Structure 1
C-alpha cells in the first residue's frame, strides 16, 4: 500500500494548544486527485456493484454546485460509464463551473423544478426517470447508501496506521460519511467517537438518518454525535466570519478549506475544543473531504485568487 503519512497534518491551532487537544487534519482531498475526498470512497463499492450488474450508465441527483454530481461525472469519465445528472432548479446559462465540468466529463444534464425534485426518493418516480433516461444504476443525492458506508469505513483502518485518536470529525450533509466513519469504528471495536458538523440548517434530522443507515448496514452500536450550530445560515450559506476564518486557516496552515463543508467543520471543531468538549490530552482527527471545486463558482473566490 502506498505511504499515506503525508495526508495526516498536525494543526497546532492556539485554541487546541490552550486546551491540551492534539488536532490533526486528514487530507482525504489529496488521496485521489481525479476524484477527490469522500466521494471516491462513497462511489467505490457502488461502481463495483453497478459493473457487476451489467450497468453502463449512472443516474444521480444534485444541486447546481454539487460535489457529488461533479464526482459522478468524473467517475464516469474515468471508469467508462455514461452519466446522467438530474439537477435541482431551472437551467442557467452559461453553465456555472461545476456543471460545465460535469458536461466536459460527459454527463447529460436534465433539470427538475424544486417541487419535482423533492420526489427523487419515491420508487415510482425513480422508475419513471429510469424509463425516461434509459436503463441506469441510480445513485441517491450525495451518494449515500449502505455501499457508500462500506467505502468510507475503510478510512478508520487507514487512520489507525498512523495515529491513535479519541474522535474523528467530518462535515455532514446527508450523513453518509459520518455513518461510514461510525461503521468503521464499530466494526473495529475502536474506542473513539464519530462526530459530525452539520453543514445545513435544521440538521437535527441527521442523528436519526445516521442511526437508520447504521441499522441498514447491520452495524454494532457506536458513539456518534451531530452538532448543528455551525451552518452559518444554511447549506451553501456563509458569513464574513466564516470567510475570514477560512482565509486565516489557509494563511496559518497552508490548507484551503471550502465554504460549504470543511470550513464549517474546522470552525465547529475548534469552537467545541474551546468549549471543553474534548478532554485535555485528547487527539481529534478532522477529515478534509474535498469540495474545493465549489470555490470556482463563488464570487468571493476571486477576491482570494482561487477562481
Structure 2
C-alpha cells in the first residue's frame, strides 16, 4: 500500500486577482475506492491488523460514512473479515454506501445513538473485544496513532514536490490535521477547516491524538466559522459555488468536506487573509462517494454532480 499523490497547480480568476499561488494535493486520485485521507488513515491500520494476525477488524460509522465505505473495501482487498458498527436503522442497509459495504462482505451491526456514543468508551470496547476476540478495533473515521503515521507522509511527499506557506485541510474527526502536524514539525502554517459545529472539541480531539512531544506545536489552527451550519449542512448557494469552482478548475469536490475547504479558501481570500504571493496547498481528501447519500435524500440534483459508479445489485 504505497503511493505518491499528484500536486497540481490550479488557476482561478480570484487567485490571479490576489496574486496567490494555489496548488492542490490530489489524494482523491490515490485509489478509485479508498481515496483521499481514508487511504492514508487505513494504510497502517490494515497492515498492523495483518501483522498481529487479527481474525478481523471492527470499526464504526454512520449510514453514509466514507470511512465505512473505504474500510469495507480495504479489508476485502486484504482478506480481512470486517464488522461495521453502524449508527442508524437497519432500513438503511441498502443505501449506496452500505450496499457497497455489504458487497465487500462487511458485516453490518446497527445500533441506536445512545449505544453509538459509547464507541470510545473503554468498558464498551472491552465488551466488544470479548465478544469478538482477536479482532482489531479501528475507531470512527480511522483516526488513531497508526492513522497519523499514514497522514504524516503527505508532508514528506510535499517536501519533494514544492515549497509552500500554508497547507489547508478539512477537519472532521481530527486525525488528518493531527497527522499533518506530526509530519510538519512546525515548518509551515497548517489551517484546518471545521466541517461540523463543535466549538473547541476539535482542538481537543487533535491534541489527544498527538504524541506528547508535539502537543506544543503552535503552527496550526482550526477555523470554525466555515461549517455552513454543521456537519453535512450547506445551502443551495454553497452547492452552486462549489460546482462553479469545480467547473473552472476542472476538479470535483463534494459539499461535506473538501467543498467546505474550497468555500473557506474563497472567503478567506476575499477578506484579505492571505498576503500577496502566498503559496497555498489544498489537501483534497476525496469522499465523492458521499454524494450518493445526498442524491438519495434529495439534497442534491444528481444531474449536476459527478457521475458515481453504479451501486451493486441490492
Q: TM-score, normalised by structure 2?
A: 0.90
Match of 2:100, SS? helix
Residue segments in structure 2 that go unaligned for 5+ positions in a row: 309-314
SS at match of 2:31: coil
List gaps (5 residues or longer) in structure 1: none
Matched residue, 1:37: 36
Which residue does 1:67 correspond to in 2?
66
Question: Which residue matches 1:126?
Answer: 125
Correspondence for 1:196 among 192, 205, 210: 192
For 2:304, the equivalent position in structure 1 comes to 304
Pairing 1:269-284 to 2, within 5 Å after superposition? 269-284=265-280
Residue pair 2:9, 2:22 contacting (<8 A) in 1 also: yes
Tell me what 2:45 maps to.
Answer: 46
Q: CA RMSD in A?
A: 1.9
Separation (CA, whole Å) in 2 of partners of 1:219 and 1:94: 40
**TM-fit CA distance, 1:227:** 0.6
1:78 corresponds in structure 2 to 77
Conserved in 1, the CA contact under 8 Å of 2:30 and 2:39? no
The aligned counterpart of 1:25 is 24
Counterpart CA distance in 1 for 2:212 and 2:38 is 20
Alpha carbons of structure 1 residues 216 and 106: separation in structure 2 relative to 1, 3 Å:
farther
> CA contact under 8 A between 2:207 and 2:215: conserved in structure 1?
no
Using the TM superposition, give the Cα deviation of residue 203 of structure 1 relative to its aligned residue in structure 2, in angstroms.
4.2
Pairing 1:264–2:263 present: no
Q: Distance in 1 between matches of 2:110 and 2:223?
A: 32
Alignment of 1:107-186 (within 5 A): 107-186=106-185
Q: Distance in 2 between matches of 1:301 and 1:64?
A: 20
What SS does the corresponding residue of 1:51 show, helix, strand or coil?
Answer: helix
Distance 1:4 1:110, change over 3 A: closer
Q: TM-score, normalised by structure 1?
A: 0.92
From 282, 287, 294, the equivalent of 1:291 is: 287
Q: 1:31 to 1:217 in 2, by over 3 A?
A: farther
Equivalent position of 1:10 in the other structure = 9
CA positional deviation for 1:152: 0.3
DSSP 3-state at the match of 2:211: helix
State the Cα deviation string for residues 187-210 of structure 1 (Å, max 9, x = none): xx5x21111101111243212221
Once the two structures are TM-superposed, the CA of residue 3 in structure 1 deviates from its matched residue by 9.2
> In structure 1, how many angstroms separate the alpha carbons of the residues matched to 2:12 and 2:132?
50
Match 1:212 to one of 184, 208, 211: 208
Q: CA deviation at 1:228?
A: 0.9
When the two structures are aligned, how many residues end up with a matched partner?
302
CA displacement 1:148-199 (0-9 Å, x = unmatched): 111100111111211100011110001100111111111xx5x211111011
8 Å contact from structure 1 (residues 56, 80) kept in 2? no
Query: Aligned pair 1:249/2:229, yes or no?
Result: no
